[in-house]
Structure 1
Amino acid sequence: MELRSIEWGDDSAERDVDLLSYFIDTESYDRLARKSKTIVIGRKGSGKSALRKKLENDFSKDSDTHVINISPKYSSIRNILNEKSLSEGFGEEIFFQHSWLRQMMLDSLCLVGHRTKGKYASESLEFARQISRDLNRTS
């Protein structure tokens, strides 16, 4: 058999329907599954989406664990540019950090808020629910 005749799956983990059937648990995955590491950062094509897909599958029934994909969109960066205090006088590093921290906060709140849909929510859960509604990230 020639290497080029082997079916390696889709180049994109998001579109690879068979990914979980041949996913190999690595030490990196095990650290995430044990929750000794909680954030995955890497370049495009480094396997972040494959890890996320596997973690989403493995933790789908665990209501205390949330797997969140955080990726700033152009609109979030545009919104930050409209904040005069950030667009004037701050360096690129602070702008970059603020963009990611803001996106992490919003994505986390929206996921938790969306998951409280149809349930009784009080205080911090209601706050997250309202954020997810305000940003049109839940019905």
Structure 2
Amino acid sequence: MTTFGSSENSFFRNRGCISVFDYRAPSAGTWERRTDCYPFQPASPGNEGVAIFVLNRVIYGRLQPWTLWGEEKAYNEKIAPYFEAGHEGPISLSLVDRLILLKIMEDPLSLAAMVRKSFNPLRE
């Protein structure tokens, strides 16, 4: 399990690919769908945050689009439509232009923190 759910039946994982968020040019009317699989989700309070790798343009031509999921009619496999892309095999660190480290912190007495704790009382 991951913060994105189980990855056992991931469309790109099943094809030997690494999944990446692809925010280059979402089509009209799909930008609001970006929260369907929010990239900052793992940075929930209490963990060490996330590392965001900003990839070099050279990799763009190597990315497989999410639309392959529909072309293959792989409807039983998980995909984040509009924003997920796949890269076959590992991504070399030489293709990383920037690394952004992000840690989201919140007041433990905030309404959001109290609601979250009510669903999981063992987590502080």
Q: TM-score range by the shorter chain?
A: under 0.3
Which structure features the higher share of strand residues?
2
Provide the TM-score with structure 2 as the length reference: 0.27
Which structure has more RCO (C-alpha within 8 Å, separation ≥ 6)?
Answer: 2
Provide the TM-score with structure 1 as the length reference: 0.25
Which of 1 and 2 has greater Rg? 1
Which structure features the higher share of helix residues?
1
